[in-house]
Amino acid sequence: MNDSPQRRLRLTWGGATDQGRVRANNQDAMYADWGLFVVADGMGGHQGGEVAANLAVRTMTRAKRDTIRELHDAVQEANKVVYETAIAQPELHGMGTTLTSLAVIREGGSRKFVALNVGDSRIYHYRNNQLTQLTDDHSYVAELMRRGELDEEAAAVHPYRNMLTRAIGVHSEVEIDEWLVDPVAGDRFLLCSDGLTNEVSDDAIAERLSIGQDPSATARELVHLANERGGRDNSTALVVDVQIDDIDGESDQGSVEHEDGGETPGVSPAEESTPEKIAATDAFELRTKSSSSYPKKQRSWLNDRVGISVATVLIASVLLIASAAMVATIGWYARDGYHVGVVANHVVIQKGRVGGLLWFNPTLEEWTEIQVAQLNDQDQRNLIAGKPLTDLAQAREFLAQLRTRLVDPDSESRGGG
């Protein structure tokens, strides 16, 4: 039975996350432990995004996850927890999160990676100098691109490029995509949020992975690159390296230690303290909050200059105050008013201007059960473009009228649109 040597799967991993140069907080969360790697990117005003991402990740870590079925159940459970919390707490209404996870299971005597995804965080697989995006993005522009209706250039500037078509916590159940990968020595996986991929191209990611630095250094480099190229969103990178050792007369059973149901370190909800570094077999860095991964260059700007004159400091202060006031004004303008639009194929009320302004994105105010397919052609065009309205009452009134014009999506009358 034991003619061929046993093989032991050995994983090393490292992660980095940063709030970026624009956002006020970090709504990304991540977790890594032997056998489970997760990245989540929360959305929703106030603390919503942060709470959603951390709740989802924490739920995953506490669930049983030895089989593909159990992993799916864990994601459904994460969805349920976020969904029910959002309903129960008005200040968290409308929150949601992406969730992408890579887990190791044993199937038929060998180990396999199971990748599960909801949303537009990604898992990349780097093998034989080839980078493959394993997961599909569940975003409005990605759907249009898959249908051949939008190219990459147009997608990059599309007003709805941040809109998700699937997310954790939006409905009582969620559809989950799944991939299985047989591990091969030398494989590298990258789990990341869109804050990374919107700034750093696939080619640049492949180049970083090809250099062969250890996972922690690679993850830090990638997040650093995202910040250098704008840092317009929180960015998170979690790199997992695969090694396979031949061992005689020993099984690899000892390599896996899952903690079912118990307290798992590493992730906590937003209201609890910042998670500690995870105990792991190999060096691993984890930060789920804003952080210190990278020094903010602009913060040390004044201190770095020795012998700077008082006048220069005064002028700099005045300029800083003026720019802060300008940013506040733009923010106020961008967040003024409401509009009715489309998110994840549903009609929604959003606060803020259509498409946002600079780095101020509109936020989800009210979700409706109305789907795009139920709209007549003209409403469909209007709402995909976004219908601006001055206040919430007006937006609700508009929705009430819209409901009287809904069509049966299965009838022939709407034509091809």
For residue 17, which of 36, 38, 33, 35 has the smallest C-alpha distance? 38
DSSP assignment letter at 1 = -
Q: Say whether residue 365 binds Mg ion (CB under 5 A).
A: no
CA-CA-CA-CA torsion for 132, 136, 142, 146, nearest 10 degrees? 80
Among 44, 169, 195, 352, interactor with Mg ion by CB under 5 A: 195
Kindly state whether residue 183 participates in binding Mg ion, applying the rule CB under 5 A. Answer: no
Between 97 and 268, name the residue whose CB sits nearer to Mg ion.
Answer: 97
Extract the tokens encoding 251: 């099984």
For the chain, state the CA radius of gyration: 23
Q: What is the rounded CA–CA span in Å between residue 238 and residue 377?
A: 43
Q: How far apart are CA 259 and CA 278, in angstroms?
A: 13
Stretch that binds Mg ion, among 37-45, 63-71, 242-250, 347-355 (CB under 5 A): 37-45
Q: Is 194 in the site for Mg ion (CB under 5 A)?
A: yes
Judged by beta carbon, residue 194 or residue 379, the one nearer Mg ion is 194
Residue with Cβ nearer Mg ion (193 or 361): 193
CB of 98 to Mg ion, least distance (A): 8
CB 82 within 8 A of CB 36: no
Nearest approach, Cβ of residue 34 and Mg ion (Å)? 27
CB of 43 to Mg ion, least distance (A): 8
| Residue with Cβ nearer Mg ion (135 or 193) | 193
* Size, binding site for Mg ion by CB under 5 A: 5
Nearest-approach distance from CB 335 to Mg ion, in angstroms: 19
How many C-beta atoms lie closer than 10 Å to residue 366's C-beta? Answer: 17
If 0-12 CB within 10 Å is exposed, 13-18 middle and 19+ buried, where does residue 171 land? middle
Tell me: does residue 137 bind Mg ion (CB under 5 A).
no
Between 35 and 195, name the residue whose CB sits nearer to Mg ion.
195
Nearer to Mg ion, 120 or 379 (CB): 120
3-state helix, strand, coil in the chain (%, to 5): 35, 25, 40
Q: Which two tokens stand for residue 182?
A: 């047989």
With beta carbons less than 8 A apart as the criterion, state whether 31 and 20 touch.
Answer: no
Contact pattern for Mg ion over residues 314 through 353, marking x by CB under 5 A: ----------------------------------------
The residue range among 168-176, 188-196, 293-301, 372-380 that interacts with Mg ion, by the rule CB under 5 A, is: 188-196
Parallel, antiparallel or unpaired: strands 96-97 and 387-389: unpaired
- The C-alpha atoms of residue 329 and residue 341 are separated, in whole angstroms, by 24
Q: How far apart are CA 180 and CA 212, in angstroms?
A: 24
User: Residue 195 or residue 355: which is nearer to Mg ion going by CB?
Assistant: 195
| Span from 149-157, 186-194, 309-317, 386-394 in contact with Mg ion (CB under 5 A) | 186-194
Least separation in angstroms between CB 235 and Mg ion: 8
Q: Does 18 sit near Mg ion (CB under 5 A)?
A: no
Q: In what order do the strands lie in the sheet with 122-127?
A: 6-18, 235-247, 188-192, 122-127, 130-133
Binding region for Mg ion (CB under 5 A) out of 103-111, 151-159, 227-235, 266-274: 227-235
Any contact of residue 41 with Mg ion (CB under 5 A)?
Answer: yes
Comparison of 26 and 216: residue with beta carbon closer to Mg ion: 26
Q: Which stretch binds Mg ion (CB under 5 A): 31-39, 74-82, 191-199, 338-346?
A: 191-199
Cβ atoms 41, 22 nearer than 8 A: no
Least distance to Mg ion, CB of residue 18, Å:
12
Nearest to Mg ion of 11, 43 (CB atom): 43
Length of the chain, in residues? 417
Residue number, 321 or 358, with CB nearest to Mg ion? 358
41 burial type by CB count under 10 A (0-12 exposed, 13-18 middle, 19+ buried): buried
With CB under 5 A as the contact rule, which of the stretches 36-44, 109-117, 123-131, 205-213 interacts with Mg ion?
36-44
User: Which 3 state secondary structure label does DSSP give 74?
Assistant: helix
Contact between 233 and Mg ion per CB under 5 A: yes
Binding site for Mg ion (CB under 5 A): 41, 193-195, 233
